[in-house]
Every structure is written in C-alpha cells, then in structure tokens.
Amino acid sequence: MEDEQLIQEAYAKLIVAIRPKMDNKDRFNIQSAFELAKEAHKFQRRKSGEPYITHPIAVALICAKEIELGPTAIIAALLHDVVEDTPVTLEDLREKFGNKIATIVDGLTKLDADKNSESPQAENFRKVLRTLLVDVRVVLIKIADRLHNMRTLGAMPPHKQQKIAAETKFVYIPLAHRLGIYNIKSELEDLFLKITDREAYNEISRKLNETKKDRESYIKHFIQPIDQAVKELGIPYEIKGRPKSIFSIHNKMLGKEVTFEEIFDLFAIRIIIDVPVEIEKIKCWRIYSTVTDFYSPITERLRDWITNPKANGYESLHTTVIGPNGRYVEVQIRSKRMNDIAEKGFAAHWKYKGVKANHDNVYERWLETVRETIESSDHSALEFLSDFKSNLYSEEIHVFTPTGDLKILPLGATALDFAFSIHSEIGITCATIKVNNRLVPFSYLLNSGDRVTVTTSKHRKPNKDWLSFVVTSKAKTRIRAALRESKSQQADFGKEALLRKLSNFKVDLESNVDQLARHFGFDNRMEFYVAIAENKIDLSELKDLPIIDRKFDLKKKTDKSEAVKVSPKSKQDFGSLGNSQIIIDGQSGDKFAYSLAPCCNPVLGDEIFAYVSPGGMKIHRTHCPNAENLQASLANNIHKAEWGRSSTSLYYTDLVITGVDKGVGVIEAISSTISSSLGLNIRSFSIDGHDGFFEGKLRLIVNNNNQLAKAILALKKIDGIKNVIRES
C-alpha cells in the first residue's frame, strides 16, 4: 500500500507539470505508458529499495519541468527502460504507441554487451548519437536519466558511484553544456564534486550558507540604484542574484590557488528584460549603459554573446563591474527569450523556432557536424567518443573566409582545422594558408576575428603529423580516412611485390603470408605489406628460408611474436617500497599481478580502483588525472579495489609548493619541518624562484595518506608558503 501511494504521488506531480501541454490523446497515451511501465517493472526495485517505476516517472518529470519537453518525450521517458530490463519489445511499443516513440526508446536502450568490444560504454554512446540525428529528444531524455541517477547515487557502493560520476563528467556534462541546458549542467557538476571530493563540496557548501545573509544584503544594496534607473526607462524587467555553483567556485580556488575567502565574485546579478525580439539587442545595451553609470566596468571582462552567440545558441551580455566596497560583481543582461534558451537549451530553441534571431541555425550547424562525424566514422568507438567530445566546446572563436563568411571553431583550433571546416577536400589538399594576409604554418593557432585564406594542390597528401595538432572532429576523421586510404594503396603495392617474389619460389601467397608477417615481426599482413612497400623489408632473405610442399618451413626459426615476453613489474617499481596488500573485487591482491600506477602514486588510505591494461593491472587513485577517462570509456576494465593488510609499506608521493620568495630560509624551513618535526624522509627536492615567487617540487616517503596530510598542513604553516598541493 505504501508503494502504491508513493507511485501515485510521483505520477500526480508529473501530470501537474505537463497538464498545460496535453490534449485528450496525449493524456490517454501518457496514462497508457505509465500503466505499461508500472506493470513491466512491478517486480523490480532500485538500490534504495523504492519501486523501480519511480525512476522513469522522475526522469519524465525532469523532461517536463526542467527541460520543458512535450508529451512525446514524456511517454518515451516513462518507457525508456522497459525494452532493456523487461520482456516488453520494441515491436510491442511500436504497435501501441507508434514508430516515433519506438525509435526514441530504441535509441535509449543499451546494446547487448559485446565481449570483443574495447568499450561497450563508447559503443552505446555512439548508438545514442546516431539516433540523435533522427530525434534530438533521445539525448535530452538520456541527460534527464543521468541527472536523476546522479541525484540518487547514495544507495550505490562507492566504487560504482565513482564510475558513474566519471562518465558523467567525461560525456554528459559537456553534452549538457553543448545543448545549452546550463541549470542541469551546473547541477551535474556539483553532484560530480559531491561524489568525487565530498570534503571540498561540504566545505564550500558550508561557507556559502554562512555567507548567505551577507551576500543577500550586498546584492540588495548593489541593485538598489540600478533598479530605480531601469524603472525610469520603462522597460519590463526582473533582477535576480544567484551564487556561483560549488563546482565553479572549487575550480576557481584550484586554478587561481586561492582560498574561498579570496574569491570576490562568488555571485552574479542577472537582469532579464521582457521586450520584443526586434529590439532586444538595443535594449540590452541600454541596460548595460545604465549599470555602468553607477559602477565602473572592467572592460577586458566584457563578453558580447548577443552580437556573436555561442555555438550552442547562448545569448547574453556579460560584464564585470566594481561594486560597493571594491568587490567584483558579474552582471548578466539578457531578454526573457535569451534566458529561456540559456536555461532550457535545445528545447527552448524549438519553442522560439519561428522567431528571427542571430542563432537561427546554430543547432542545425552542430547537428550537421555530428552527422559528418558519425557518417565518416569507421574507426573504433573510443576514437569516435574522443572525436565527438572535441565537438562539445566550452569556448568558441569566430573566424572568417576571404569573402566574410563566418566559421565558428573551438578555442585552440588551428589553421588546418579551418581548411577542413570549409570542405574536407580543401583540408586534404591544403597547400598553403594565410592568416590576415600572412603565410602561417598549418599548426598556427587561430584567434577570433582572423581572416583565413587557403590554397590547395591536387598533389598534396595528408601525413600523420597533422593529427597531432588538429582539434576538430571533422579534421581528425577526414585525415584518418585519407591515411587509411593511402595505407591501403601502399599495402596493395607491397602485396604485388611479395606476389612477384613468391612466384619465383613457386609458393602460394595465402598459405604463407601470415607466418611470414610474424617471422618479420608484424602483427598482421597489412602492416607487413606496407613495410614491404616502404622498403623496410629485405625480401632477398626469403631465399634462405626452407620450403616444404610449397610452404616456408619456419618451425626452426624464432617466432618473434612469441619470443617477446613482458614480465610483470614488481609493486615497488611503482611507488611502494614494501609489501602493501590490496583487495580487488573482494579477493586478496596476491592472486593478481598488480602494480601501483606511476601517474598518480597511490598511498595507503587513498581511495583507489584497479584498471586492467594491456600491460597488466594498475592501481590508480580515484583522483588520478586519468581516472575520468578510464572510468568513463573503459569501465569494463575497472575493478573495485581497497587497501588490505599493510605492515612495512612506504610510498613515494610528490608535492608542489608555491610561495613568496624571501631570499633566505625557505629551503631550511621546509627541510626542518619535514625531517626534524615530522620525521619523514625527503627523496628529492628542487626549487625555482622568479618574479618574487618560488615553486618547489618535493618527493617524500610516507607510510599513509594521514601522514601525508599532516605534512601538507605543516608546510602550509611556514611563513611565506602560499599553497601546497599533491601532484597528480
């Protein structure tokens, strides 16, 4: 009875959220979808113990209330797990709800796990994006699904929380940003931080709560003169003050190496005007003029995304001004239409589709880029995911063709990326590039406002070095395809050369080529053929090989593929100086050939996970710089790991120390604190001073992370030291 009441209350909230958008047919179909999903999931429960049906209802509510999707998306959200987790089939859904609903649910249904796949996660994401080209609601529902999962992760074991959080940061947060759903993006970022660094999250959250009254009082004082002046202009408006997200504050603290108290722009003021679209721009600038009548602007921090909207359709005028008491305040000025698009993203864009504005085709342009990436993608799912991520730009630049056509590229794009953005063939045959009438290398980094001219040559061919500096998915995909085509042609030449040589010995190609490839040290015949074409193989050696029954007899020869043995490295090669036992998937680590990863140097007490790589099992910290990528795209190779018995283990760990260079005493103070006060051994220490500051790198030998934490705290107390962080 309690379950039924819980379900009905959740469903009632959903109906209230979508009631204004429903007609009688929609109401009937939503009720039918709810009843079908409820029946299909009736024996299933979430990890929290709640009936499983509460999850699809919650996802549907996010779609309705927070993204403002319509009845079709609500129905698909209610049904998004039935094909994957219950006996209900796609044909059942197609018959009952039609082809559109079935197509969306199919896009949301995971592929059956392929044991041979390098990354099932990447394969599933590629499937979702293929469906995106048919109906963008697939991805919007997928983001809503991920948001609810992140909100309710508490019931999951910590190692699974880490995996899901890493995947969220790697794919879903950039995707939410790219689709302009900024409210959801910010919440996902905060939830990610809450899972991966709960201590930092709680500390910032506590300080925000402590300063809330002071912040609200300051905002009220700040907006008072603006409020009166805007009223006199007769422009309908509202002014809101909002704190920055916990994640963005944390990032700023790390990036600028400052404390919470040293961050001045903890909040932003948003002024939203309600005017017809044809006068939005002029009225926004009028409000800007009013704000700067009272407060001095910092001109280099002006961002005009009204004249040049972001590639995801975001429009707003941002400025930072110096408010009362010398505090920096960010002011965002936008229309109601702009605000809807900023908060609801893609869905709101379609709501305003009939409105003539600067960003009419931004999503169509982006979808065209996605389409090109997918349709030309015949490489691995991991390469696809990496290429696609490069489309989820956080910042863009605006560059121009010689005729003045605008091209939007990611920050960091090169001159060669521009050539490919015009047309693939122009990129492939690119001979020279001029930026602002000056000849530049292909790797030249472009800036907003650059005018770029490309010349081509039919004799030009791409080389693999190009892949090292292009950043756009289109350029990478086309270059790889051209290189594969070139490699295939080389292989054909090599194969012909080998055929001619084998005909002299009257031996067959097909029955000999694979063992010959191995004999010469190649994993496959394609690489062997290419090496022959490039004259890296001396085929005259074939005359010295014995032949029996028209086949080379290589039994007595060394098989290079078997001769190379990789012996597992000992644990102490990777930071541990003793015997530290690790429990992997609940079993003693003695059963596994593992080692501590050198990229993050885990220390006893750190949260860790195990990753099975081609070179063996590696133990990583959950805060390893590579963790996000590994856990998101190679989760099948990730295993739960925790520290077990540890007696005499010692660990290397690296610290970066920054501070004010006072000329004398710093080195002595650091050495004394570590060696004398704490009794720790210093493995290495280097220090470099410049412009009145210094940076030191210190490698310590510690027993556990508690000892490490004490060392960091003690170092921070030394006069002149500004910050101490653990490297990696």
Residue-wise pLDDT for 132-183, tens only, equals 677 788 888 999 999 999 999 988 888 889 888 988 888 888 888 878 788 8
- Total domain count, the chain: 5
Structure confidence by residue, pLDDT tens digits, 553-592: 766 444 433 333 323 333 333 344 445 578 888 777 666 7
Boundary of a domain, candidates 140, 168, 202:
202
pLDDT on residue 360: 52
Task: Examine the domain organization and report whether 37 and 102 are in the same domain.
Answer: yes
Question: Is 66 tagged catalytic?
Answer: no
pLDDT (0 to 100) of residue 672: 87
| Residue 211 shares a structural domain with residue 196 | no
102/46 same-domain check: yes
Q: Under 8 Å CB-to-CB from 297, ≥6 apart: which residues?
A: 291, 319, 320, 321
Find the CATH number of the domain harbouring 142: 1.10.3210.10
Position 535 scores a pLDDT of 78
Same domain flag for 155 and 47: yes
Point out the catalytic residue in the list 3, 26, 85, 203.
85
Phi, psi of 446 (to 5 degrees): -80, 155
Structural domain harbouring 71: 2-202
Euclidean distance between CA atoms 108 and 119, whole angstroms: 17
Per the annotation, the verdict on 85 as an active-site residue is yes
* Strands 452-456 vs 430-435: parallel, antiparallel or unpaired: antiparallel
For the chain, which residues score pLDDT lower than 50?
Answer: 113, 115, 359, 393, 556-578
Question: To the nearest whole number, what is the mean pLDDT of the chain?
Answer: 82
C-beta separation of 233 from 290 below 8 A = yes
Position 62 in a domain: yes
- The 3-class secondary structure across 552-573, one letter per residue, is ECCCCCCCHHHHCCCCCCCHHH
The gap between the terminal CA atoms of the chain, to the nearest Å, is 52
Pair 328, 277 in one domain: yes
Residues 347 and 330 in one domain: yes
- Residue 356 has a pLDDT of 54
Is 526 among the domain residues?
yes
670 within domain boundaries? yes
**Cα–Cα nearest to 414, from 397, 426, 431:** 397
What pTM, to 2 d.p., does this model score? 0.71
Q: Is 237 a domain residue?
A: yes
Task: Give the CA angle between residues 76, 342, 166 to the nearest 5°.
Answer: 65
Q: What per-residue confidence (pLDDT) applies to 38?
A: 93
Q: Contact at 8 Å (CB) between 21 and 67?
A: no
- Is residue 165 situated within a structural domain? yes
Whether 193 and 210 map to the same domain: the answer is no
Q: Are residues 30 and 177 in the same domain?
A: yes
pLDDT at 353: 58
| Residue 299 domain flag | yes
Verify that 510 and 583 share a domain, yes or no. Answer: no
- Establish if 431 belongs to a structural domain: no
- pLDDT for 120 equals 66
328-335 and 267-273 beta bridge pairing = parallel
Measured CA distances, 323 to 219, 225, 290, 328, 423 (Å): 10, 12, 14, 6, 48
Residues 175 and 59 in one domain: yes
Instruction: Compute the distance between CA of residue 153 and CA of residue 377 in angstroms, rounded to an integer.
Output: 34
Verify that 81 and 117 share a domain, yes or no: yes
Read off the CATH number of the domain in which 696 is found.
Answer: 3.30.70.260
- Determine phi and psi for 726, rounding to 5 degrees: -80, 130
Give the domain CATH number at 246: 3.30.460.10
Residue 312 lies in a domain: yes
User: Which member of 84, 368, 425, 534 is catalytic?
Assistant: 84
Domain boundary pick from 351, 368, 396: 351
Question: Is the domain of 579 the same as that of 717?
Answer: no
384, 126 Cβ separation under 8 angstroms: yes
Residue 444 tokens, joined = 């030249």
Among candidate residues 202, 225, 254, the one where a domain is terminated: 202
Q: What is the dihedral of CA 170, 173, 177, 183, to 10 degrees?
A: -170
pLDDT at 445: 93
